[in-house]
Structure 1
């Protein structure tokens, strides 16, 4: 019986060009096998970034480049905006683990980005390298993209190397509009919901 459409078996009597095409397609599907040393390096880098290895691998596969910075939204950092900022201890300790990677944040509307950056740095105990004004509630794709790109441009970063940590669908839209390498929901990045 001849296999139907969508089968996963090579032609039984494949020779020459057909066999070559099948072998090549199978190799492309499986992908390149990494040496164990390179795998260890990538696992160590994932730990430096505070990511699980599957998250880090999906970023590498999606963008093809290493992560240079994280961009956090106010909701992504679990910040409570009162008279002064407060941040849960698990979030503070997770941020302290991140190394060899820039940290940036969006300042909520009505806040001066540089002052907000300093406050977040003080509250978290970790140095945030930059802050920018988050897109307005009614901002379209172009305005959202421009807000993210302005922040990245000030630090000389490519969008394909920056991961955004946030919490809402609106923030996912910002990451999509700016073509960031990945958007990670805060519940996946930070250990506990505060």
Structure 2
């Protein structure tokens, strides 16, 4: 109870010190400590994927799974003119080969199959991007069908969007996480 002259300091009732100690120990016990070998493997995996360890660890902690694939929006690939991925994005995509799946979500009028044919060494698969007017459930179904078709788990797939609307695909598809395109393509480890 707050009274005149009370400064809201620590409670002085009996047992306060023990409760504080017990709470601190319980909280520390909840924090998982990884063996050094596992930490090294995860840091190496984050480097292989080309993302900073903090992002990798937070995605992994939130989803409970490793990152096995990326979905790139057409805007993130900067495919505004023609069907080719922007030159400054190509080296980053080549670096992901054999590390994770690379799926391009291509907007109309570009044909996803034609984009895949032109960018074969850069992307493993392409699909039609969810439309701006599609419902939440239609967006979810489209993303989930694409991942099922390629045998990829949603909770192991990270979205790389370029716009706020595309960012919403992560929640709709229940994907592992999201890293903005500018951050993903500009990161240097």
Aligned partner of 1:67 in structure 2 is: 67
2:28 pairs with 1:26: yes
1:174 deviates by 1.3
1:75 deviates by 0.9
Identify unmatched segments of 5+ residues in structure 2: 1-7
Q: 2-side partners of 1:2 and 1:46: how far apart? A: 44
Q: 1-side partners of 2:106 and 2:186: how far apart? A: 23
Contact 2:141 2:173 in 1 (8 A): yes
Q: Secondary structure at the match of 2:57?
A: helix
Q: 2-side partners of 1:133 and 1:57: how far apart? A: 30
Write out per-residue CA displacement over residues 43-82 of structure 1, whole angstroms, 9 at most, x where no aligned residue. Answer: 1100111111111011111101001110101111122323
Cα gap change, 1:25/1:163 in structure 2, threshold over 3 Å: closer, same or farther?
same
Contact 2:154 2:175 in 1 (8 A): yes
Aligned partner of 2:150 in structure 1 is: 155
2:99 pairs with 1:97: no
Write out per-residue CA displacement over residues 140-161 of structure 1, whole angstroms, 9 at most, x where no aligned residue. Answer: 1011111111111111111101
Identify unmatched segments of 5+ residues in structure 1: 5-9
2:118 pairs with 1:111: no
Contact 2:84 2:115 in 1 (8 A): no
Instruction: Give the TM-score of the pair, scaled to structure 2.
Output: 0.84
Bigger-Rg structure (1/2): 2
1:19 deviates by 5.3
| Aligned residues: CA RMSD | 2.2
Contact 1:160 1:179 in 2 (8 A): yes
Aligned partner of 1:11 in structure 2 is: 16
Contact 2:102 2:125 in 1 (8 A): yes
Contact 2:69 2:101 in 1 (8 A): yes
Aligned partner of 1:178 in structure 2 is: 173
Instruction: Give the TM-score of the pair, scaled to structure 1.
Output: 0.82
